[in-house]
Amino acid sequence: MRFGAIGLYVNNIEVMVKFYRDVMGLNLDWDGSAFTAIEMEGQIHHFILCAREGFENSIPEISNWNKGINGNMELCFDVPNYSDVDKEFERVIKAGAKPVYKPTTEPYGMRVCYVADPEGNLIEICSGNDDISHIE
């Protein structure tokens, strides 16, 4: 087996498509339906957004969704340099992401921050590729 996709089941697919396309910069081509996917480079082949209502109708055993910030999973976006973490954090906050954890250089050497999408899914922006001596 190989890892093929990451999917998010969403309450408002229009809002979420706009967020991941316009704020996070993913190349989403959405036709207005209850589902969209984009091809990704590397080991994960697709990022999927699917309306929860349609999923619940096809699999009624699924009916308990997280509320608020979803700490059960995250989407992680790598950037080339430590300073890019700070720049992207500011950019996505200004564009509408919810701040969760400001850019911080962790003891294990990564520069990380967290934001949340409109439905509370955690998004990490990180880098491990820089000299940290000039960053607080």
Separation of CA 123 from chain center: 4
Residue entry with tokens 């409109």: 118
Task: Please provide the average confidence, as pLDDT, over all residues in the chain.
Answer: 88
Domains and CATH numbers, the chain: 5-58 (3.30.720), 70-134 (3.10.180.10)
User: How many C-beta atoms lie closer than 10 Å to residue 126's C-beta?
Assistant: 20
pLDDT, tens only, 62-75 = 767 788 888 888 89
pLDDT, tens only, 37-64 = 988 887 788 888 988 888 788 787 776 7
**Minimal CA–CA distance to 21: which of 11, 31, 30?**
30
Helix/strand/coil for 58? helix
Strands 111-116, 98-105: parallel, antiparallel or unpaired by DSSP?
A: antiparallel
0.75 cut: is pTM over it?
A: yes
**Confidence check: pLDDT of 97 > 60:** yes
